[in-house]
């Protein structure tokens, strides 16, 4: 007898949302001591989207979710759980997932957030597919959404030029087709590197105070070079491990979707793994690093640009604060 445990879990629908406001490198050069030339040559970023002041993380998440649900051919009432990956929730609690549930008008279902920074979308993809495999749920809505502009220090040129806002969502469902959809996911973290990318203020060790605000503790802090070195290492190792585990070689993967942080990290991955850039979609030039939204935004764009066909293997690879990292192998479904 076929059980949910043996079924395939597929991405039945995907949706993306980015705010209208475009912030170019030239705009940034009027705000901090930087230049379009420096930003493009060091990162590949040309512009990024910035949410409106009254536009929250849950607003962006809901807009991406509505598209994913429609794209899946479902209605909001078909959704059995909502998981949001974000480091910029609307507020510490309740979860952004609950606020999305309210906006979508869905009756009681499990809703919660996961905090794994830029690896967040692949973390929730694994959690949701494990929950679907219990047989207790049919359709899971997973969303990577970030309003990073709300935690950037707009006086720190070493970080504020790198990030942007946006959201990407997917509906995961059980499929009757065998051996398609999510083939495998590997998640990892190393908390020893927690302080190379973090936000010191706002939690229980450093609650908001006049002092913490004066000390600029409520902004993202990063040791860029350290993150860069780790990113190159874990992206390559995650890919090698995943290919070995599933007895595939890199030529058999039609599309690699890396976390969109820096073109130099992606090009280094391409060179070291001997994977042509044509098989690695890039959108960071237009969106910057959108953390948990980065992978679903890039996947949505790759599908819209017909870079992924039925039967193709797709490998998604992420790294982020924690440090966390993750990889997911998909076989695009029938
Ligand atoms: N404009 C002009 N100059 C700048 C800027 C800027 N925006 N930022 C830094 N500089 C200067 C520095 O002050 C330094 O000057 P100095 O030599 O006089 O001291 C010089 O440029 C070189 O700075 P570096 O930090 O050495 O520059 P680097 O080549 O390492 O690039 C960067 C910095 C782009 C941040 C890179 O290290 C990087 O991309 N790191 C990875 C970041 C990342 O991937 N984060 C992803 C995780 S995000 C998440 O999980 C939320």
Spatial CA neighbour of 311 closest among 329, 327, 334: 334
Tell me: do 21 and 159 sit in the same domain. Answer: yes
- How many Å lie between the centroid of ligand 1 and the Cα of residue 157? 8
Chain segment 237-282, per-residue pLDDT in tens: 999 999 999 999 999 999 999 999 999 999 999 999 999 999 999 9
Nearest CA to ligand 1 atom 10: 158
Nearest CA to ligand 1 atom 23: 158
Tell me: do 48 and 96 sit in the same domain. Answer: yes
Nearest CA to ligand 1 atom 15: 158
Residues 299, 122: contact at Cβ < 8 Å? no
Tell me: do 25 and 105 sit in the same domain. Answer: yes
Domain boundary, last residue among 138, 153, 178: 178
Tell me: do 142 and 258 sit in the same domain. Answer: no
Domain that holds residue 110: 3-178
- How many Å lie between the centroid of ligand 1 and the Cα of residue 7? 45
User: ∠93-219-186 over CA atoms, to 5°?
Assistant: 65
Tell me: do 201 and 237 sit in the same domain. Answer: yes
Tell me: do 167 and 241 sit in the same domain. Answer: no
> Could you confirm whether 304 is annotated as catalytic?
no
Q: Which of 24, 32, 41, 42 best tests ligand 1's pocket when mutated (most atoms within 8 Å of CB)?
A: 42
> What is the total count of domains within the chain?
2
Residues 325, 261: contact at Cβ < 8 Å? no
d(CA 20, CA 258): 24
Tell me: do 210 and 319 sit in the same domain. Answer: yes
Q: 32: domain CATH number?
A: 3.40.47.10
Q: Which helix (H) or strand (E) holds 275?
A: none
Tell me: do 241 and 151 sit in the same domain. Answer: no
Chain segment 307-327, per-residue pLDDT in tens: 999 999 999 999 999 999 999
Domain boundary, last residue among 178, 207, 234: 178
Helix (H/G/I), strand (E/B), else coil: 248? coil
- How many Å lie between the centroid of ligand 1 and the Cα of residue 287? 17
The pTM of this model reads 0.96
Tell me: do 155 and 256 sit in the same domain. Answer: no
Phi, psi angle pair for 50, to nearest 5°? -125, 125
Above pLDDT 90, what percent of the chain? 96
Tell me: do 165 and 191 sit in the same domain. Answer: no
Per-residue pLDDT averaged across 283-293, rounded?
98
Domain boundary, last residue among 144, 178, 212: 178
d(CA 112, CA 110): 7
- How many Å lie between the centroid of ligand 1 and the Cα of residue 141? 35
Nearest CA to ligand 1 atom 29: 42
Tell me: do 106 and 132 sit in the same domain. Answer: yes
- Residue 331 above 50 pLDDT? yes
pLDDT confidence bin for 1, thresholds 50/70/90: very low
Marked catalytic residue, from 259, 262, 283, 333: 259
Residues with CB under 6 A from ligand 1: 34, 38-39, 42-43, 117-118, 157-158, 161, 197, 224-225, 227-228, 231, 261-262, 265, 289, 291, 320-321
> Could you confirm whether 289 is annotated as catalytic?
yes
Tell me: do 106 and 206 sit in the same domain. Answer: no
């Amino acid at each position: 007898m076929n059980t949910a445990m043996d079924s395939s879990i597929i991405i039945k629908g995907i949706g993306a949302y980015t705010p209208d406001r475009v912030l170019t490198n030239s705009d940034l050069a009027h705000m901090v001591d930087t230049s379009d030339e420096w930003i493009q040559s060091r990162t590949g970023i040309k512009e990024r989207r910035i949410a409106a002041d009254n536009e929250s993380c849950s607003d962006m998440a809901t807009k991406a979710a509505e598209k994913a649900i429609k794209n899946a051919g479902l209605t909001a009432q078909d959704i059995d759980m909502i998981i949001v990956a974000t480091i910029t929730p609307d507020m510490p609690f309740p979860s952004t997932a609950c606020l999305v549930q309210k906006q979508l008008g869905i009756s009681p279902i499990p809703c919660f957030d996961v905090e794994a920074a830029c690896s967040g979308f692949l973390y929730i993809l694994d959690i949701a597919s494990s929950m679907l495999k219990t047989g207790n749920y049919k359709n899971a809505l997973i969303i990577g959404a970030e309003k990073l502009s709300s935690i950037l220090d707009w006086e720190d040129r070493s970080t504020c030029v790198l990030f942007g806002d946006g959201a990407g969502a997917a509906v995961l469902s059980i499929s009757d087709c065998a051996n398609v959809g999510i083939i495998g996911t590997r998640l990892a973290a190393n908390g020893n590197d927690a302080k190379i990318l973090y936000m010191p203020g706002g939690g229980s060790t450093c609650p908001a105070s006049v002092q913490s605000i004066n000390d600029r503790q409520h902004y993202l802090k990063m040791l860029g070079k350290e993150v860069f070195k780790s990113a190159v290492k874990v992206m390559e190792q995650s890919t090698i491990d995943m290919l070995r585990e599933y007895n595939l070689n890199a030529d058999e993967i039609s599309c690699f979707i890396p976390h969109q942080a820096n073109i130099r990290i992606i090009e280094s991955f391409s060179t070291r793994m001997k994977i042509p850039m044509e098989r690695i979609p890039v959108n960071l030039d237009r969106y910057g690093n959108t953390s948990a939204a980065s992978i679903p935004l890039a996947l949505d764009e790759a599908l819209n640009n017909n870079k992924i066909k039925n039967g193709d293997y797709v490998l998604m690879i992420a790294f982020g604060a924690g440090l966390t990292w993750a990889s997911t192998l998909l076989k695009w479904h029938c």
